[in-house]
Amino acid sequence: MSNSQPEAVQQHFEREVQGEARFDETLIFDPETGELVVQRRGEIRANPDAVTVDQPAREGFFANLSFAFLYEEQLQKVYQNWQVSGVDQIPAIAFTFDEGEVFHIYTSVPKTHFAGFPVPSTIKFLDRMPTIEESFSIVEEILRIFPNQHESQQVTVVVLLAIENERLQYRVFITQPDGNISEGIIKFIPQYSELYSRSTGLLETLVLEQCKVGIVGLGSGGSTVAVELAKAGVGNFVLIDFDRLELSNVARHVCGIGDLGRYKTKAVRDLLYGKNPYINVKIAELDINNSLEETKNLLKDCDLIVAATDNNRSRFNLNNIAIEYKITTIFGRALTRACGGDVLRVRPFHGPCLSCIFTKEFLETRKEEVSQFRQARDDNPAYVPDDEVKTTIQVGLASDIAPISNMIVKLALLELSRGRESGIQSLEEDCIADFYIWANRRENTYANWPKMEYGSKTPSVLRWYGAKWERNQSCEVCGNQLESIEADDNFFG
């Protein structure tokens, strides 16, 4: 900038007040520094994100600045298309939030879940970035060509783009139905590398990016695990569940009212894309108990399986798959009204499997939570009417499921980075048990536990307990195979 700031800004305002505004200078706002700067005609903006603010500055406030977000990836595609086809104006759609404060502009359907109120948008490529006065006339001209769009909608968003000195120049304008046009600030949603570079350090994100995790059961537990693993950087998912999101699920599920009626697989997939649009998510709406072969095909090349289903038959089926394909599998569940829960890590032939631990008798003593009508219906004889069955559904709080999901996530990340240098490596020495027990309240199974006191000599609520459990050599699932620990030490190849 040619003038020293903020004197130049002060002088600019004074000239404005005296009606002596210079036509060759404009006031711009740099969102990076938060400063106002006077820019002379012909000067290239130091920061392309800087935006012309003469109008709002004259009105004395900045609260009406709008932000427009665009996917770098989508912009690249339309730019390439412009280069090839020469079509310099393309339609887009903008979703507006918070009375026009924020716009998300799309040129094609995004992988991420979108919300907001849709308004038309246009992207125009120019040979050079026009001055602010020229920009306003270009925007007005565009709106004249699309009068219907302008009249029938509340707001229109126009993006002007040009390449100058091999650098992308851009401006966005928001037009109101009354004809008022104001400039906004464009922000770009970056590509993968920038999105997830921040988690590097604690976890080896490059390793996790290669990993494939299968999650079976997307209730409040499984869906939370999926989202947390995506946030940690896991790059490939297989999601299996055959339920749709019902009103009664919403209070405890990661998905909300906006996803009612959708398959949980699809709703959760969209949430994962919202965290990272560059991951791969395969989904299947199937009941694994009725589609075992299909389930095997979906899961056989996973690095890890999370079993978060709500019935024992599916758990034993998943245990069989884990042993057959030697895939580490983490089983998690909540007990009656989420009074507590347990998490079992099965590392095939390196420790106990589900069948080594859970006998039918043992399962009887630890009644699982009944949170779905389908589950309750299965538990009751056919002559019991639906209304009565409904009264047997006893759900716990989402915050009582959270510790169990959290333990699954920790064990999953630990297993996925096992043997590699990472910030969580010391956990390998802590999590030596394969079976973990958690209690939220002193009821049911935990009714006779002593109250939580100082110290940790007695079992109490709100603590994890690792239970030592040996592999059962005569287990009918994993016992009669002659695999040895040494022969298969490198788990994930």
Which residues of this protein are in contact with Zn ion, per CB under 5 A? 353, 355-356, 475, 477-478
Please state the separation of Cα 437 from the chain's center in Å: 28
Nearest approach, Cβ of 261 to Zn ion (angstroms)? 40
Q: Peptide bond preceding 6: is omega within 30 degrees of 0, i.e. cis?
A: yes
Please give the Cα distance from 106 to 87 (Å, whole number).
17
Residue 275 or 345: the one with the smaller Cβ distance to Zn ion is 345
Asked if 405 and 332 touch (Cβ cutoff 8 Å), the reply is yes
Residue 333 or 347: the one with the smaller Cβ distance to Zn ion is 347
Residue 398 or 475: the one with the smaller Cβ distance to Zn ion is 475
Nearest approach, Cβ of 479 to Zn ion (angstroms)? 6
Nearest approach, Cβ of 478 to Zn ion (angstroms)? 3
Nearest approach, Cβ of 415 to Zn ion (angstroms)? 18
Beta 304-307 vs 328-334: how paired, if at all?
parallel
DSSP string across 230-267: HHHT--EEEEE--PBP-HHHHTTSSS-GGGTTSBHHHH
Alpha helices in 159-285 (DSSP H): 192-196, 205-210, 220-232, 247-250, 264-275
Please give the Cα distance from 269 to 277 (Å, whole number).
10
Residue 308 or 478: the one with the smaller Cβ distance to Zn ion is 478
Residue 189 or 475: the one with the smaller Cβ distance to Zn ion is 475
The first and second tokens of residue 400, run together, are: 């009582």
Asked if 25 and 43 touch (Cβ cutoff 8 Å), the reply is no
Residue 292 or 475: the one with the smaller Cβ distance to Zn ion is 475
φ/ψ (deg, to 5) at 423 = -70, -10
Please give the Cα distance from 438 to 397 (Å, whole number).
15
Please give the Cα distance from 123 to 157 (Å, whole number).
9
Q: In sequence order, what are the beta bridge partners of 341?
A: 334, 438
Residue nearest to Zn ion (CB): 475
Nearest approach, Cβ of 359 to Zn ion (angstroms)? 11
Nearest approach, Cβ of 412 to Zn ion (angstroms)? 20
Please give the Cα distance from 9 to 35 (Å, whole number).
10
Nearest approach, Cβ of 477 to Zn ion (angstroms)? 5
* Those residues with Cβ within 8 angstroms of residue 444's Cβ, 6 or more apart along the chain or in another chain: 335, 336, 337, 339, 340, 367
Nearest approach, Cβ of 323 to Zn ion (angstroms)? 7
Nearest approach, Cβ of 373 to Zn ion (angstroms)? 33
Residue 2 or 473: the one with the smaller Cβ distance to Zn ion is 473
Asked if 478 and 353 touch (Cβ cutoff 8 Å), the reply is yes
Asked if 318 and 309 touch (Cβ cutoff 8 Å), the reply is yes
Residue 136 or 358: the one with the smaller Cβ distance to Zn ion is 358
Residue 114 or 491: the one with the smaller Cβ distance to Zn ion is 491
The first and second tokens of residue 39, run together, are: 């820019």
Residue 283 or 322: the one with the smaller Cβ distance to Zn ion is 322
Nearest approach, Cβ of 484 to Zn ion (angstroms)? 15
Residue 355 or 372: the one with the smaller Cβ distance to Zn ion is 355
Nearest approach, Cβ of 454 to Zn ion (angstroms)? 39
Please give the Cα distance from 225 to 343 (Å, whole number).
13
